[in-house]
Structure 1
Amino acid sequence: MGANLRRLRWVCTSGCADAIKCKSLMLNFLQPVLETALDAVVAMAPDGTVAAWNAVAEQVFGWTEAEVLGRPLADLIIPQQHREAHRAGLERYNRTGRETILNRRIEITAVDRAGREFPVELSITTAPDRLLFIGFLRDITARREAEARLQRQAREAQLLFEVASLATSTNSFEDALRACLNAICDLTGWPLGHALLLIGTELVSMSVWHDDTKGAADALREATEQIRFTSGVGLPGMVLAAGEPIWIADAAEASQFPRKGLGLGAAFGFPLKSEGRIIAVLEFFTYDRVRPDPELMLVVRTLGEQVGRVLERKRTEDHQELLLHELNHRVKNMLSIVQSVAMQTFKGAAPREAIRTFETRLGALAAAHDLLIAENWEAASLQEIVSKAGLGCGADRDRIRTEGPELRLHARAAVSLSLALHELCTNAVKYGALSTEGGRIHIAWHIVHDGTRLCLVWQEQGGPAVQPPQARGFGSRMIERALAAELGGKVELHFLPEGLRCVIEAPLPAEDR
């Protein structure tokens, strides 16, 4: 095309004074471009009329060349809202030569013969002596649709991730419902969303709403509260009856949409299910009439499945909690029976002190169970274990100093350590640092060996002078052997003159490292 235009300039400057003839010559030279260009090519005269129109332009805009030649271009392909600006720009260029869009590639909209407005990519250049404006136009509808589809898919993936993440982290069914409403309204651009919970055979309106235009849903909310949504009644009832998403393209004309007269155009709803049963229905509204969107229905179905899992998990956790409390109750009952049997067994045959020791050991075991039940029998805080062991043997809290990082021990280790600490504390009250007024106990723990092992040190101070025992009693054997075995580590008792020192070292669970 550049060679043709250079040749036109030579022709026009070699003595031709007739603008009409020059224009005709230009069109003749442009003919190969018009015939071979893959884009729509439109030539416009300075007065705004069509001077040339290729075959691709006929396909794109629906007008034949014979129908458009000599007619104002603005009346043919320029949208109504842009025509005045087009005429003003053309007049300014003819008068001043000042241009704003020549020799650039821009994206605008055009209209075809049927009045359809669609996006086009446009570049405009001028022929020599400004006798013609030549525009190259490409319909980019498919490209825009592909870009919009990619953006929507990316947004869908993001929203699915956000709702799925919330579904795995929250125990609040209402929070999950609200997040789902917000996500779908964000995805669709629809302003109103609402949740209804299935109670018995009726869908009951919840206080969970999405309202983009604060207050716009007031009339809808009031109308919703007046209706009993049972199977088949209104949009929620239709969803309940079908067990599938329902779309209403024109709410004003739908016979099964009782909330008419509120200016709503379209609506859709879908069920939330848990273990295959409907537990709630989400419904959405917009003020425009909108045809069903099958792709959107697939997305909202997936979102609904994620929210339904929140309730499934909550029910499972509630059931586990009930079982744990029932187990704890039975264990404590069993300990009471053991205590009663022990008392009957020891009656008349054992000193009262032995019975009291046995009872306190059972009490320490029960306290450890209570602590673990509060933590769903998964793990317990080391600080809590130490505190309960001291209080359980009647020690003054001010005389036991503790220090160490926050750590959690698994259930088996927690019970064993609780019993061992109780034995140490009981021994300190009877014979050690807590048996005298000025005695103190320091319990400290830290992590050693590159964070893989726990070291806990029990140190008594200010009590009676300590001498190593001639024989090891039950308590000592339990601490040194049983505790070491349970923890998978080692326990050392040092009977130092200034006070008993117990060093416990054990591997940390992998999750605590």
Structure 2
Amino acid sequence: MPNRVDLEMSVEPAQNEFQTAEYLSKKCERLERQLVREKAIRLEAEDIAEHGLRDLFLSRERLELLNRVSSFANDCEEPRDALQFAINEICEAAEWPVGHALIRKGPVGDARLEGTDIWAAQDQDLSFPFMEASRTLVAWPCASTPGRLFLETKPTWVTDIHAQSGFTRSSAAMRSGLRSSISVPVIMGHELVGALEFYQTDTVEPKPEFLELLLQIGIQIGRVFKRRKHADILRENAATDSLTGLPNRLAFEKEVR
């Protein structure tokens, strides 16, 4: 029959084994939690790095787009050519499927934006109903785009054009599958001389940095309008008598040729 010492010795290893197993289990749990935390930290760091690289890439792309439009505008004498170039470049770089340009007509008090045939469209057949409605558009100063640009000379982003009150091209836009829009003022000094508008097939949320880029592009194109205006004034002065304001000899000779 075992004595008391033998009994105690026989129980002791079992307790140690239990304590060791419990200790190892807790240690494993701590290691697992640590691995989870380290994985979360690593994923967060990778996400930050990825976003940083993406933002850097987008910033570089935006800068290159602005440089291309600015360079073209510096050498351009015809506003319509500058508008067409900008429309093409922005649609391609930003992947907006439809772009259109409008030009201001009329003096102060009778000013309006009129549609043009200056277009870019990924799918011209699909966009045709909207292109036709926009080509004949006359937009007076109002609360809806693009007339709103007369009131606020800053880019306007509309997430859902069909929810916009007063948007007269809604049915044509719906047939062409268009949903979101951006309207961009073309500014000569403080004067609105034209507009760029872009349309997307999805509901797209505003991006402030993209709007700022488009504003700068509108200002660059406005410089072409300014040069054209000065050139027209010089030609008019060259053909007009400074005292009477009547056509001079140069204008007469030009007419009889």
TM over 0.5: yes
Q: Which has the higher helix share?
A: 2
Secondary structure of residue in 1 paired with 2:146: helix
1:153 CA displacement = 0.7
- The answer for the alignment partner of 1:312 in structure 2 is 226
Q: For residues 111-126 of structure 1, what are the structure 2 equivalents within 5 Å? A: none
Q: 1:182 to 1:33 in 2, by over 3 A?
A: farther
Quote the Cα distance in structure 2 between the aligned partners of 1:217 and 1:26: 68
1:25 CA displacement = 11
Residue 133 of structure 2 aligns with an amino acid whose one-letter code is A
Quote the Cα distance in structure 2 between the aligned partners of 1:204 and 1:233: 16
Quote the Cα distance in structure 2 between the aligned partners of 1:326 and 1:303: 35
Secondary structure of residue in 2 paired with 1:235: coil
Is 1:36 the counterpart of 2:70? The answer is no
Is 1:143 the counterpart of 2:143? The answer is no
Secondary structure of residue in 2 paired with 1:207: strand
Q: 1:281 to 1:30 in 2, by over 3 A?
A: same
- The answer for the alignment partner of 1:301 in structure 2 is 215
Quote the Cα distance in structure 2 between the aligned partners of 1:293 and 1:314: 32
The answer to whether the 8 A contact 2:103-2:194 is kept is yes
Quote the Cα distance in structure 1 between the aligned partners of 2:80 and 2:25: 70
Q: 1:196 to 1:27 in 2, by over 3 A?
A: farther
Q: For residues 147-296 of structure 1, what are the structure 2 equivalents within 5 Å? A: 147-200=53-106, 201-225=111-135, 227-232=137-142, 234-261=144-171, 262=174, 263-296=177-210
Q: Describe the superposition over 1:339-360 as per-residue Cα deviations: whole angstroms up to 9, x where unpaired.
A: xxxxxxxxxxxxxxxxxxxxxx
Quote the Cα distance in structure 1 between the aligned partners of 2:24 and 2:127: 63
Q: From the CA coordinates, give the structure whose radius of gyration is larger.
A: 1
Quote the Cα distance in structure 1 between the aligned partners of 2:25 and 2:122: 56
Secondary structure of residue in 2 paired with 1:142: helix
Quote the Cα distance in structure 2 between the aligned partners of 1:222 and 1:145: 40
1:32 CA displacement = 4.8
- The answer for the alignment partner of 1:16 in structure 2 is none
Q: Describe the superposition over 1:323-347 as per-residue Cα deviations: whole angstroms up to 9, x where unpaired.
A: 55679xxxxxxxxxxxxxxxxxxxx
The answer to whether the 8 A contact 2:73-2:82 is kept is yes
Q: Describe the superposition over 1:429-462 as per-residue Cα deviations: whole angstroms up to 9, x where unpaired.
A: xxxxxxxxxxxxxxxxxxxxxxxxxxxxxxxxxx
The answer to whether the 8 A contact 1:198-1:280 is kept is yes
Quote the Cα distance in structure 1 between the aligned partners of 2:143 and 2:98: 20
Q: 1:214 to 1:25 in 2, by over 3 A?
A: farther
Q: TM-score, normalised by structure 2?
A: 0.72
- TM-align CA RMSD: 2.7
Question: How many residues in Structure 1 have an aligned counterpart in Structure 2?
Answer: 210
1:193 CA displacement = 0.7
Q: Describe the superposition over 1:47-84 as per-residue Cα deviations: whole angstroms up to 9, x where unpaired.
A: xxxxxxxxx5xxx9xxxxxxxxxxxxxxxxxxxxxxxx
Q: Which has the higher strand share?
A: 1
Quote the Cα distance in structure 2 between the aligned partners of 1:265 and 1:25: 62
1:33 CA displacement = 3.6
Quote the Cα distance in structure 1 between the aligned partners of 2:153 and 2:188: 12
Quote the Cα distance in structure 2 between the aligned partners of 1:302 and 1:279: 15
The answer to whether the 8 A contact 1:205-1:225 is kept is yes
Residue 251 of structure 1 aligns with an amino acid whose one-letter code is I
Q: Describe the superposition over 1:203-230 as per-residue Cα deviations: whole angstroms up to 9, x where unpaired.
A: 1111101112232320111222454311
* Unaligned segments of structure 2, at least 5 residues: 1-21, 242-257
Q: TM-score, normalised by structure 1?
A: 0.38
Q: 1:326 to 1:253 in 2, by over 3 A?
A: closer
Quote the Cα distance in structure 2 between the aligned partners of 1:179 and 1:33: 60
Q: 1:326 to 1:223 in 2, by over 3 A?
A: closer
Q: For residues 436-475 of structure 1, what are the structure 2 equivalents within 5 Å? A: none
Residue 254 of structure 1 aligns with an amino acid whose one-letter code is Q
Quote the Cα distance in structure 2 between the aligned partners of 1:27 and 1:182: 65
- The answer for the alignment partner of 2:16 in structure 1 is none
The answer to whether the 8 A contact 2:104-2:113 is kept is yes
Q: For residues 422-437 of structure 1, what are the structure 2 equivalents within 5 Å? A: none
The answer to whether the 8 A contact 1:240-1:281 is kept is no
Q: 1:326 to 1:252 in 2, by over 3 A?
A: closer
Quote the Cα distance in structure 2 between the aligned partners of 1:27 and 1:197: 75
Taking only the aligned residue pairs, the percentage that are identical comes to 23
Q: Describe the superposition over 1:373-424 as per-residue Cα deviations: whole angstroms up to 9, x where unpaired.
A: xxxxxxxxxxxxxxxxxxxxxxxxxxxxxxxxxxxxxxxxxxxxxxxxxxxx
1:322 CA displacement = 4.7
